[in-house]
Amino acid sequence: MTTTTARSIVRQIVTRSYRRYTPTNGRAPQGTEYGVDGWLFDLPGETLNGRSFPQTTYAAYQVSVHGMLLWQVREVGGERRPCGSRSTTRKGALALAVGHVATQREKTATTARDQDARAHSAAWRPAAGSAEPAQVSVTVDERQARTRASQLAALPTVAEIRMAYPLTGGGATLRLMTAAGSTAERHMIRLTERGAAGRENDPAGIYLDTITDGANTEGLLIAAGWHLTRLGFTYAHGTAWAAYTGSAISEAQWKDWAPMLPEGHRWPHTVRVAITATTEHLAYIDRAYGPAPDLPELPTGMSAHPSGPRSWQICYANRRFWQLSYQPRMGGDVWTLYADPTHTKPLARATSAGELLATIPARDAEAQAHAATRKDQ
């Protein structure tokens, strides 16, 4: 079975044929989100990293938004529904949809491959001189050491800025890859989008589409550098962004697209640089996959008992209980005090356990006062 690249579906849209649908010809998709008439087209199936994706049918149709007629694309059946596929032209909407489907296929195939690799490495292996699998007792410390080693081995070592295909709007994506070429979803970042509401943004506001307009500009390098710093990575010593040449087919396609590129486009369309994890990132891995920290000295009349890997049940003299949890984070660990054992009612958060433990006597006194008031009423 031949493994192709997800972007192959982009190359095939040039000759994509459409089938007209109307309310009377029996081809119209079911569902209120589709226009009363439009066009049906198929995106080819392909295989990525051993994961097969079937051919899928999509519908392109017009809608009216604020008095303007726009084209949208939605999948006919199935679970995936491409987003961001709105355009003033039918071909533009199709291009946006194809780019989104290609990216989703690539993410799905990469995730499946990584999961298969982890499952294979965790499988039992036959003991030496025996055909039967042997189960070996592993201590908590050994398990933590193995997990930490696997996390260090899976750290990205290469950063890539890849320009989007011209027909999909000329955006750019930052991708952090391991030596094997795999990428976690959190390490695929659209440089020219502000992201979901509430997500941390660069204070300089570098997420605007105007920093690229389809060209590989200095603004993209600045945006990528900010994201690398936020994620705990830095450029390897003595390295710089350099052009990266893809497959011969991909390069030929980019050459064909050259007339469609915006004015002032600067090559290359893909650049890469070697990266390394910062000292802060390595320290975070030590905390995240190492033993839980020790609690400070407890106030008088208070006791603590482990209730999970990084959780403690706190008991005060009058038998009232709280839950304390610890969560390692890049940029500052977080301790949380809960009022219930299911960790659903957070009372307060702090950067140290002692700060929260010191508030428990006052919280207990307040709870007793409220109870006494209710009893008197």
Separation CA 270–CA 276 (nearest Å):
20
Pairing of strands 303-308, 334-338: unpaired
The pLDDT of residue 163: 77
Give the 3-state secondary structure of residue 219: helix
The helix/strand count (H/E) of the chain reads as 8, 17
Enumerate residues 6+ apart whose C-beta is below 8 A from 130.
none
Separation CA 126–CA 21 (nearest Å):
59
Tens of pLDDT along the chain (377 residues) come to 344 444 556 555 545 577 888 877 777 777 667 777 888 888 877 777 777 777 788 888 887 777 678 888 888 876 556 655 778 887 778 777 777 787 777 777 777 666 655 555 554 444 444 444 444 455 767 777 788 888 888 899 999 988 776 545 556 788 999 888 888 877 888 776 655 444 455 444 444 444 444 455 677 788 888 889 988 999 999 999 998 887 888 788 777 777 766 555 556 778 899 999 999 999 998 888 888 889 999 988 889 988 888 899 998 876 788 899 999 988 889 999 998 777 778 899 999 999 999 999 988 888 888 888 887 77
Give how far Cα 58 sits from Cα of 18, 28, 106, 319, 376, Å.
10, 11, 19, 62, 68
Torsion sign, CA atoms 310, 311, 316, 319: negative
Separation CA 333–CA 185 (nearest Å):
23
Amino acid of residue 57: T
Amino acid of residue 153: A
pLDDT digits (tens, 9 = 90+) for 11-30: 555 455 778 888 777 777 77
Separation CA 106–CA 83 (nearest Å):
16
Helix residue ranges, H only, 127-240: 140-153, 218-231
Burial of 233 (0-12, 13-18, 19+ CB in 10 A): buried
Nearest-Å Rg of the Cα atoms of the chain is: 27
